[in-house]
Amino acid sequence: MRKPLVAGNWKMHGSRASVTALVEGLLDLGATPCQTLICPSFVFLDQVQRQLAGSDIALGAQNLDWHDKGAYTGEVSAEMLVEFGCSHVLVGHSERRSLFAETDVQVGLKVEKCLSSGLTPVICIGESLAERQADETFTVVQRQLDAVIRQVGVTALRHGIIAYEPVWAIGTGESATPEQAETVHVHIRQYLAKQDENISQNIQLLYGGSVNGENAADLFAQENIDGALVGGASLKVDDFLRICRAAV
């Protein structure tokens, strides 16, 4: 039985004060009803780690570098993230791929680094609008998955999570319909099943792209949608909790 997970990607938002208030808001309302993960900017990890002490909410980062350490100005290592209480890392978010030219190969290296460091990678995959219109959705997600599997092997995905995030739905207010999302999730499971039935059945498949309090329940009602990766709506306590409640 796959557990539902709702993850918040806070992107490059927040200040000391607003992040403190957001975490307090989540904690004030008691235990979040489903497995919950929040991913603040690197600079807030320390304060959020302290605030979350003793809570069930997991802490994640939005990126990492795959090298152990060294002269990589501006980068953050897996070891650093572990020291700051992270259990998860978003890897290959479409904004990293499109705005920072992150390649499929680099995504594979980052996933490998997460796994060897005891961090759970949330592997983000998804097609652009042009790719969807050209009927290339399945080809794109397969290519993105293949790059990871080539690097770490399919069985290593038992320690990973996949987030299907169609690029055209991220931050646009235009979510995929539950049926559109479910179609791709089913395809991902079938694709994985050809390589490892166990991984295919057990891996958590999140949907991401304009999830909010209104549309979450319908998305989560789909058999193969195990939760959500949430951007904008994760910055408001009430909206995020509404999504978490819809997941159980």
Please give the residue ranges that form the binding site for ligand PEP (CB under 6 A).
9, 165, 170-171, 208-211, 229-233
Indicate the residue among 59 and 154 with the shorter CB distance to ligand PEP: 59
Indicate the residue among 108 and 208 with the shorter CB distance to ligand PEP: 208
Is 93 tagged catalytic?
Answer: yes
H or E stretch at 239: helix 237-246
Structure tokens at 96: 């990293």
Catalytic residue, chosen from 93, 95, 127, 182, is: 93
152 neighbors 108 (Cβ within 8 angstroms): yes
Dihedrals phi, psi of 204, to nearest 5 degrees: -75, 125
Indicate the residue among 37 and 154 with the shorter CB distance to ligand PEP: 37
Is 67 tagged catalytic?
Answer: no
Distance CA 214, CA 173 (A): 11
Cβ 7 to ligand PEP shortest distance, Å = 8
Cβ 107 to ligand PEP shortest distance, Å = 15
Distance CA 196, CA 173 (A): 35
H or E stretch at 25: helix 16-28
Catalytic residue, chosen from 95, 112, 165, 182, is: 165
- Residues 79, 228, 12: CA angle, nearest 5 degrees: 55
Indicate the residue among 34 and 170 with the shorter CB distance to ligand PEP: 170
Cβ 87 to ligand PEP shortest distance, Å = 18
Distance CA 42, CA 166 (A): 25
Residue 207 DSSP class: E
Cβ 197 to ligand PEP shortest distance, Å = 29
Helix, strand, coil abundance in the chain, percent, nearest 5: 50, 15, 35
Indicate the residue among 137 and 200 with the shorter CB distance to ligand PEP: 137
Bridge partners of 125, per DSSP, are: 164
Cβ 243 to ligand PEP shortest distance, Å = 10
Picking from 151, 153, 147, 152, the residue whose alpha carbon sits closest to that of residue 124 is: 147
H or E stretch at 6: strand 5-9
**Positions marked catalytic:** 93, 165
